[in-house]
Amino acid sequence: MQEKFQRFERSEHCGDAGCQYTLNSTHYHCLHEGCDYRFAGKTMMYKHAQHHDRVDSIIQDDFQRYKSTMDCKRGDCEFGSKSTHFHCLRCPFICTDSGKVAVHRNQHSMSVVAEKNGFKHFSSSNTCPYSDCKFSQKSSHFHCEKSGCTSAIMGLMQMEIHLRNHQEEPIMDTPTSTSVA
C-alpha cells in the first residue's frame, strides 16, 4: 500500500458522504493535503501516487502549486481559482506551465552565482538600467558591476572569462642580479 492513501473494503464505510464508492466496492482515498481524489483500483492509486511524486519534484521547497479549485489568496494573481498554477516563493513569478518552474528556479541559481562574482542578472522580462544594452528585454544576461566596467555577458562561461580581465596585471619580470666573477 502506498503512503498517503487509505484503503476501504467494500463493506467498510469510508465516512465521506460524497464518495461514490462507499459500500459499493473496495476503494482508495488520497490523503495528500488538498487532494480529494477517490478511486477504485490499485493501478489508479499507483498512477495517482506518481502524479504527486512528479508535483513534489517540481515544486520542491521554493514553489507552491495551486489547483484550479484552490484559491491562492493573492489579489494580484490572474490564475487564482481559474487554473492550476505555480507561485515562486522567492519572488512574484507566477506560471501555469510546470516546465517553466525549473527554468525559473535555474534563474535564481544563476543570480546567486552572478552576485558572488560581482555581476547582476537580468532576465529577458527585465529592463536593465544600462540604456545601451543590446540584451535588455530580449534575453537573459549579466552586467559586470565592477567599478568602471560596463560589460554585459550572456552566460556563466563568459563570466569566468570576463573575470580574468579584472584580475591584477601580472608582475613584471625583474632582471635577476648576477654575481660578478
Show me where the domains of the chain are located. Answer: 1-59, 113-165
Taking only the tens place, the pLDDT of each residue in 11-23 is 999 999 999 998 8
Count how many residues are written for the chain.
181
Nearest to 131 by CA among 111, 152, 159, 148: 152
Q: What is the per-residue pLDDT for 177?
A: 42
The pTM of this model reads 0.65
Taking only the tens place, the pLDDT of each residue in 96-109 is 999 999 989 988 88
pLDDT exceeds cutoff 50 at 40? yes
Residue 162, phi then psi, degrees to nearest 5: -65, -40
Mean pLDDT score of the chain = 86
The C-alpha atoms of residue 141 and residue 71 are separated, in whole angstroms, by 35
pLDDT greater at residue 59 or residue 178? 59
pLDDT exceeds cutoff 80 at 111? yes
168 pLDDT band (50/70/90 cuts)? low
Q: What is the per-residue pLDDT for 83?
A: 92
Pick from 39-53, 89-103, 124-138, 161-175: least confident: 161-175
170 pLDDT band (50/70/90 cuts)? very low
Q: What is the per-residue pLDDT for 122?
A: 87
Which residues have CB under 8 Å from 101's CB, separation 6+?
A: 58, 59, 63, 86, 95
Percent of the chain with pLDDT over 90: 42
Residue 141, phi then psi, degrees to nearest 5: -155, 175
